[in-house]
Structure 1
């Protein structure tokens, strides 16, 4: 019964986190265009946010792997409070100003930094013998993203993008509430002191890279795959406008893709046992490229919707597969580093996509940018075939 309660609370944490992500990153272009910024500036804002997150995630993860002073729950709570305070300030600032840019970058960075630590919460609890269904929780997060996208698409179309910072605040407050109640039976926090005090087992980031060399190539494949994924997500309103769609059409497209993620993520554990983690990673890579190629060839919203359906075997497979892949590949005391590096690779892809995407959109137009992204995505799929290890076989040997 206690495990079910934790499952529900963990699903709610993911739900509200991905709603926040939708409101911030999913509607970043909509928000910043309304404030008077151009595509290039929007790309710079998103890229700086992602660059800061790329460095922030592993740095904080390295600290969290060693410290006994701060739990994941406490860390997440502190970051959410900071987002709430800064978003409130952001809601009172209008127009294209330096202050607006700095505040937006800071809020977006804090949100991006959160992701690997929310993912790691479930494994922190498993160290205490409590299994939490990550796939289901992440699937609920996708549905929440879908619902929020649908709501925001219509709210923005009817009212104004100026309402978005208020969504940042309200959603962060809801997330904070569930994080606050997410603790072990008996009211204990999730820190496992015995393991965290084994400092001689802790690897520096450089030592980690040397130990898991093949994993580094997988991170490169991830960057390539997520480059076009990030371009489409970050500049989706421009893609939709290119085929005569509007913000409501964009909301519907995001809703469709995110809604279809739930069944895949909810059933991931069963699928993994039958197919294996390595094959799941490869399947996701192939369908990422299929989705990106279809988006390039789209001439109307129906073709965009068909491309979005591919999400259920692309992103919906990759996210839980990558989390479980890291769990099976790296040692337990390096878990936070491993999860942070995968998230960091996705974030780094968003850096390149945001920086290059904004400039290329202004210089070349939507169609050529989507072609470049699709080609890079296919290269990433090829990389994935050669970089992912058979961790399922390793786990079987370890169990024997």
Structure 2
């Protein structure tokens, strides 16, 4: 019992350290790369490239573990060690722009690849009979992201952008130590992996991608709406410093703004189960896309940093509601045998949106400027919201409760 408790604490610490490091890496990606003289277009292209690579590396890493090529714990630490080595190169050496970007792509790819492995780790622990409080751990991760963003904003103002790689070097070294101390029941690991592999093989015998699209046409239209809504969401998040600089914003104020958005997610997500008992998921999704549009509109209209802070508060009804509501919504409109594909379609839609937003956002930022980029973003967000409204379905009788 005592060992289980210790493992629960270690897992929570893993989420805290990971998301604190990730806030420095992705939350301040534009700040760091701009400080290195990289253009907006190149920043956008770089972030888009990372998303594309991660689409392939994440399933490859999971497959390596499932096929017993490498143990999960070992793979996580190898990836983290690679991240630290590349981060040290950024911190200690002045690299040419293209080499710097290649190293940066490697670091972000590693960090994005390891994230689902941490989720798998929690799942494996539960299969061993060890109960991990994943919800609490993930919530603490969000809080760590928020706090780290706020602190890092002040550090960047005082010490410059060079401090950013140091932040995730320290975070990942501590993360390696924590993961290394995990004690995984080796005698059960192969049985669990074999069971998961059999489950995946069974799922793969279900509908193909095109058959799924043909059967769930309205749901796929919903996914298109999600892509458009998250297009603007991603642009604002990844080019945040460029968004607030014209209205007098600074790195420390950006950190505070990110902190506000991340911290307001916690109560909304914690209360979601209560909300969905009173309001169905279809209505909650409609509410979330309206809040997304309002958040994007207020960001566009902002003339000072206070208005940005107010816009960030709207995250409580936008992202914080959409993520859990979309999971339950899929369960309500997709048949049980197709649930895995249904859930993955939403994830793929958000990932695809990130790729498009990062690539197009950087180019548009250089071509038309912040004002017109945000104006385009508002239009795209509203159109996406209207598509979501038009494609939302009522709960079907033949799906799981």
| Pairing partner for 1:357 from 346, 355, 361 | 361
Give the gaps of 5 or more residues in structure 1: none
Paired position in structure 1 for 2:13: 12
Q: Which segment drifts farther, 42-51 or 376-385?
A: 376-385
1:57-77 CA-partner distances (Å, limit 9, x unpaired): 34545x269534445544433
Paired position in structure 2 for 1:318: 322
Give the gaps of 5 or more residues in structure 2: none
C-alpha separation in 2, matches of 1:78 and 1:326 = 35
- Alpha-carbon shift at residue 221 of structure 1 (Å): 3.0
C-alpha separation in 2, matches of 1:330 and 1:119 = 24
- Alpha-carbon shift at residue 79 of structure 1 (Å): 2.2
Where 1:170 maps in the other structure, the secondary structure is helix
C-alpha separation in 2, matches of 1:276 and 1:123 = 28
C-alpha separation in 1, matches of 2:222 and 2:183 = 33
| Pairing partner for 2:309 from 305, 310, 321 | 305
Paired position in structure 1 for 2:23: 22
TM (normalized to structure 2)? Answer: 0.84
Distance 1:358 1:98, change over 3 A: same
Where 2:249 maps in the other structure, the secondary structure is coil
| Pairing partner for 1:394 from 387, 393, 399 | 399
C-alpha separation in 1, matches of 2:223 and 2:384 = 10
TM (normalized to structure 1)? Answer: 0.85
Aligned length: 394
Where 2:399 maps in the other structure, the secondary structure is helix
C-alpha separation in 1, matches of 2:73 and 2:6 = 16
Q: Which segment drifts farther, 318-327 or 22-31?
A: 318-327
C-alpha separation in 2, matches of 1:178 and 1:332 = 37
Paired position in structure 2 for 1:374: 378
- Alpha-carbon shift at residue 309 of structure 1 (Å): 0.2
Paired position in structure 2 for 1:145: 145
- Alpha-carbon shift at residue 185 of structure 1 (Å): 6.9
Q: Rg bigger for which structure? A: 2
Distance 1:73 1:157, change over 3 A: same
What does 1:1-400 correspond to in 2, within 5 Å?
Answer: 5-61=6-62, 63=63, 67-70=67-70, 72-94=72-94, 96-128=96-128, 132-181=132-181, 189=189, 191-197=192-198, 200-203=201-204, 207=208, 210-211=211-212, 214=216, 216-322=220-326, 342-385=346-389, 386-387=391-392, 390=395, 394-396=399-401
Alpha-carbon RMSD across the aligned residues, in angstroms, is 3.4
